[in-house]
Structure 1
């Protein structure tokens, strides 16, 4: 509501805004922004991007306990990869995605910190085996320091793996399971024996396996982790579906996605004759 203030008017009246600037009366009209009429293809792409962004967030949160430090562009890069996956998996049917073409393999090798990528530190290749109820990770014998690099003053290296499960047919996920083993550094070259880690799987569910390296040293107060913003190797080892058909689950948490709304067409302004 506009009001008179001495010789001037202040406030709003209809589509006009009245202001006093020094000794002058300023009158401004509201700017009418033209509504953009999105094509059906553009609207669908925007919807899928929104769903991909939400899924990427759920995956990142589940992996977060072992990621540590990540680079500034990681979230954008990861969301972009998930968007490419869902765009490829989208079908003509609304809210139906076909993941039979192993689209999530696109995430294999995704680095969370480009300042210290895992591929520059770990050269021994873990082997992942997916069964309906079991996920097995076999790491071969590691020749150190040839196949596992470390910065100076390191006395220990912890190799950690996480397994996160997502049922994309029911929009549910299970709590992440984390397992690790520690390697004590030696002043001379040595070999660390092969390791096998076994995790819980779930038939028909997306399984995202991540790994991270933690370096530490011994102090009078115990072990001190040396990882920092420039030294925090972590990456996705594998993203794929466990074989089999999904089954009802107890204790899993829900993933919430925004519903696809009906596309609105922009109103055309009437031209004055």
Structure 2
């Protein structure tokens, strides 16, 4: 409601507008809109996005050796790819993470769109997982002329295999190999087999990148990779199952090598715990609202006893 003061100025609200004086000036403002109350679904979607963002950061950090530099949009592109992979899971929100995701959304991801690997190389590599859980990278014959790159004395084809366990919040560097190519030394091509045993239940990813080298200090080598040229790609990913069958329990397990587990600083488990808490809270509220209100029994007033003189 608005009023008119002694000077004829309108003060207060009329409809969606508020009238007031500010430093002798008549001001008309729109009423502030009430902030819409967020629904349970919107809160869950926001928390899952936070989980995906944390997941993407962990994988990017782990593959830091796969690329010297990345393009400006890589962080957002990779977070979106992880979000799409998790969203495509057959499980419902709050019950899924990257271990339940459709990993095809991450296969072929380029760490640097300024020099994508599929444009730098004239031929395409591939990666597969054998029946006995060995990572195999199939590389075609490669010479200097097959690499679209700035001048360098030597080129390195770098392969990395990393295993992630987001349930335990650790990852392990399984293996790394680098094949050197010069003007007078080409690679004849073939299958590069990683014989290292893989931990069960983990997400295993293999990357390929190219480093260009020049002569460095005291006869060493230093890379000339930059933001403009630093190709790197995730070739493939696999989610390894847990072997929990009854037959497997009776089989003597082969002793696996002890890998160094790196703490990944993953925060996605907090998002999943918060989603579960919100659902329990909503369920309790729903149960309380569904119960009929109990009528209080009428209580007789405590009247004075005996005759009352009037």
- TM-score (norm: length of structure 2): 0.63
Pair 219,91 (structure 1): closer, same or farther in 2 beyond 3 Å: closer
2:141 maps to 1:142: yes
CA distance in 2, matches of 1:190, 1:219: 22
Q: Residue in 2 aligned with 1:184?
A: 181
Q: Which has the larger radius of gyration?
A: 2
Gaps of 5+ in 1: 1-23, 266-273
Selected match of 1:207 from 192, 201, 204: 204
CA distance in 2, matches of 1:116, 1:171: 35
CA distance in 1, matches of 2:110, 2:70: 9
Aligned pairs (5 A) from 1:74-223: 74-89=74-89, 91-92=91-92, 95-97=94-96, 103-122=102-121, 123-130=123-130, 134-145=133-144, 148-168=146-166, 170-186=167-183, 190-194=186-190, 195-219=192-216, 221=218, 222-223=220-221
Pair 100,158 (structure 1): closer, same or farther in 2 beyond 3 Å: closer
Gaps of 5+ in 2: 1-22, 26-30, 250-257, 283-310
More helix by share: 2
Q: Residue in 2 aligned with 1:46?
A: 46
2:218 maps to 1:228: no
- SS across alignment from 2:195: strand
CA contact 1:130–1:242 (8 Å) conserved in 2? no
CA distance in 2, matches of 1:40, 1:141: 51
CA distance in 2, matches of 1:35, 1:61: 37
CA contact 1:141–1:192 (8 Å) conserved in 2? yes
Aligned residues: 235
